[in-house]
Amino acid sequence: MSPTPQPYGSSLLASEPDAGAPGAASDATTTSPESGGAPDHAGSDPRASAPFVDAAPLSSQGHPSRTPWSTRISLLLVAALVGGLAGHFSAPRSGGAGLTVNAVSTAPGGAILPSGLSIPALVQKVTPSVVSIDVKGQGTEDQGTGMIISANGYVITNNHVIAAAAGGGTITVTRTGSTKSLPATLIGTNPVDDVALIRISGASKLQSVTFGNSNALVSGDAVVAIGNALGLAAGTPTVTQGIVSALGRTVTAGTSATSETLNNMIQTDAAINPGNSGGPLLDSHGDVIGMNTAVAGTLPDGTSAQNIGFAIPVATIQSLLKSLMAGASVVNHGAFIGVEIMSMSPELQLQYGFTVSSGAVVMSVISGTGASKAGVQQGDIIVKIDGIRIGSAQDLTSVVSAKRPGDTITVGIVRGKQHLTLKITLGTQPG
């Protein structure tokens, strides 16, 4: 998903809640209808939805509308002064006309990641498992990225990458280093979590990616993003580097026709552009810890938000693979509970002294929603819905997405040492 200024970007609206420490007060976070569903934090300026755009569609994308992110933006320009020169010189070589040019024949060195692996070595290791995806359908042609996850050609990608083919279009993939397009078939779709599974026809003995441990990520971890940026040339993916900027983000994204709320997202400053969607976000060992999905768009004054991208944790993807392999096609009925959540983790449990080790932690409660009216509070841990165990943010999203607006659900909550049961009437997912 890409910044709004490009003419090829279909608009995705996203709100990014503050992932600060969960508190006890239910009124710590509120949302005004005019803000498009983004939380207003007590003691701070109100914020509305920031535009996010789809990184995969290129030719099919139109001009998105702009919505405000902040009522006040402060910019700081910093002049960097270099206090000295560093380097080495070889013997002088004549450049003609009395000019002497210093030159060396030493090959440039690759950037080294904390693991000790150089980025060029990581790229060489992973890119054989990365494919460019081209989708044609319904009068559009879109490009994106995918990851080979099995030797017989299964490829995981974003659902919005292949959405144009869901009604009978065609999907082709191009492996890294190749110019040959290979046909692929759609196996399973999950628009709720924006994940889909395709398979390269007749494939065998392919090199697959290795999934890492996204639950062990911390802010500041080094990451590398690989993908078919801008659809510049299929089979020659772009590589960018950055860090994990934050964890547990909730992003509401959508085109002019649909919207989706994605929970527990990884935020990164590694550059993500149109066409990157569905590509891997790698840790410093070259293992996949996320799927690149969204990036911040344009501010009200026309400037672009910088270095704010989002990836779906690989733990979420792994939890969906069984149903995708079975050919599942998840339908989102648009039910909305009204909380922004992240999965419980050992780090969260240790930091805040939570009494349970699993569940969906409520990071904020949106004013006026069913959760707010039922008395759900920031810092609550949702552990059951209608008797179904909720072990993660993904579990909650899956259960709620199967419901319809107006349905009433029974929610089991842990608040400190209390175990509560609340009745929540679901609303409609904001557009």
Q: Which of 15, 129, 160, 283 is catalytic?
A: 160
> Residue 182, Cα to own-chain centre: how many angstroms?
27
What is the phi/psi pair of residue 164, to 5°?
A: -65, -20
What is the phi/psi pair of residue 426, to 5°?
A: -75, 145
Q: Which of 277, 367, 392, 398 is catalytic?
A: 277
279 contacts: CB under 8 Å, gap ≥ 6: 130, 144, 145, 146, 147, 225, 226, 227, 228, 237, 291, 292
73 contacts: CB under 8 Å, gap ≥ 6: 299, 301, 303
| Angstrom distance (rounded) from CA 43 to CA 316 | 34
Tokens of 341: 């959540």
Q: Nearest CA to 147 among 134, 135, 130, 125?
A: 130
245 annotated active-site: no
Tokens of 60: 């099919």
| Angstrom distance (rounded) from CA 5 to CA 25 | 39
Tokens of 188: 């399973």
142 annotated active-site: no
Q: Which of 54, 134, 193, 194 is catalytic?
A: 194
266 neighbors 242 (Cβ within 8 angstroms): no
Half-sphere exposure of 358 (CA within 13 A, CB side): 9
Residue type at 234 in one-letter notation: A
| Angstrom distance (rounded) from CA 281 to CA 310 | 10
334 contacts: CB under 8 Å, gap ≥ 6: 404, 405, 428, 429
141 neighbors 59 (Cβ within 8 angstroms): yes
| Angstrom distance (rounded) from CA 190 to CA 11 | 20
H and E: helices and strands count for the chain? 6, 26
| Angstrom distance (rounded) from CA 2 to CA 310 | 11
Which contiguous run of DSSP H or E holds residue 153? none
Q: Nearest CA to 361 among 369, 374, 346?
A: 346
364 annotated active-site: no
Q: Which residues are catalytic?
A: 160, 194, 277
